[in-house]
Amino acid sequence: MSFYVRRILFYVITLWAAVSLNFLLPRLLPGDPAAIMLGKLRRANGGRPLSEETIRGITSMLGAEKGMTLWDQYIAYWGRILQGDLGVSSTRYPAPVLELIGAALPWTVMLVGVATVLSFVLGIAAGAWVGWKRGTWVDHLVPATTFLQSIPYFWLALVLVAVLSVQMGVLPIIGGYDVFDFPGGPEWSWAFFSSTIVHAILPALTIVISSVGGWLLGMRNMMVQTMSEDYVVTAEAKGLTPSRIRTRYAARNAVIPSLAGFGIALGFVVAGSIVTEQVFSYPGIGKLMIQSVQGLDYSLMQGVFLVITLTVLAANFLMELIYGFIDPRVRHRG
């Protein structure tokens, strides 16, 4: 039980640190993001003065509130966050930040989720096989995976677009669905669903290709180490079939570190998908982040960062719970 208490405590502290970082960054660095943001909002509002409520919202999120100590600002900031009030976007005035994020999040979660699981399964299966075939010609293929890993996500996306979309015209270049077929936006129909699938193929392919190498390599190395463990030799000596040794004895134990690394790798995949979404103009959270950064929409930027962090933390936490269940040793090591 203390394992779970410790982990929950860790994630609570991490969450607190992320929120505090979000609070401190605009205040500690020189410059005045709140003033920039208010100026942008005033312009977006057609030059009319902003409501008292909006101004207070912006200043408590981004700082520069007159006559308040840093501590009071911090309390007010937490108050806003806990009410789910992340302010108003200036690039998409007057949409609330939370609403924009809510609309974008499902796109990214589906795309990144499906692509990551796919890449994990493929990489682990291939890694187990390559590790099993250690000492044969397959070993020479292993260094090639480093090339896959070193490819910048977005560059791969550019090349795929150039070949598959521009040259051959097989797959659509941009967007999450066909905006001409569905001018009214997302709807619940089979036609819309298939449109999203077609549009997701290239981004997903990009993510899978550039992340599969890491899983393969990690699994292969663990597999090689596991295969020289005594219990594998014992299994061989008992005369068990090779396929049984491979799956039930070696792969099953070799996969554990990969599972542990899954959560951390997710952070990298999310980062990669941000840039990938930019290439494909995919309507997900990454594109929202980029829009906000380019348009100096600090409220939206902070909100998106918070939500991305929250999502990655939640995924990590879930993975650790599963990990603790699979490998009882981590529960007891503390």
Phi, psi of 236 (to 5 degrees): -65, -40
Kindly tell me which of 186 and 295 has the beta carbon lying closer to another protein.
295
For residue 48, the minimal CB distance to another protein (Å) is: 25
Residue with tokens 């677009």: 161
For residue 271, the minimal CB distance to another protein (Å) is: 3
Q: Give the separation between CA 59 and CA 77, rounded to whole angstroms.
A: 9
CB-facing half-sphere around the CA of 326: CA atoms within 13 A:
15
Residue with tokens 């200043």: 59
b (16+ CB within 10 A) / e for 218-239: bbbbbbbebbeeeebeebeeee
Q: Which two tokens stand for residue 30?
A: 């020189």
For residue 78, the minimal CB distance to another protein (Å) is: 18
For residue 94, the minimal CB distance to another protein (Å) is: 22
Kindly tell me which of 134 and 331 has the beta carbon lying closer to another protein.
134
Handedness of CA 86, 90, 96, 99 (dihedral sign): negative
Closest C-alpha to 33, from 64, 57, 6: 64
For residue 145, the minimal CB distance to another protein (Å) is: 9
Instruction: List C-alpha distances in Å: 11 to 15, 25, 310.
Output: 6, 21, 10
For residue 250, the minimal CB distance to another protein (Å) is: 12
Kindly tell me which of 155 and 325 has the beta carbon lying closer to another protein.
155
- Which residues here bind another protein, judged by CB under 8 A? 10, 13-14, 17-18, 21-22, 25-26, 29-31, 33, 36, 134-136, 139, 143, 146-147, 149-156, 158-159, 161-162, 166-167, 221, 224-225, 227-228, 263-264, 267-268, 270-272, 274-275, 278-279, 289-290, 293-294, 296, 298, 301-302, 304-305, 308-309, 312-313, 316
Bridge partners for 96 per DSSP: 88
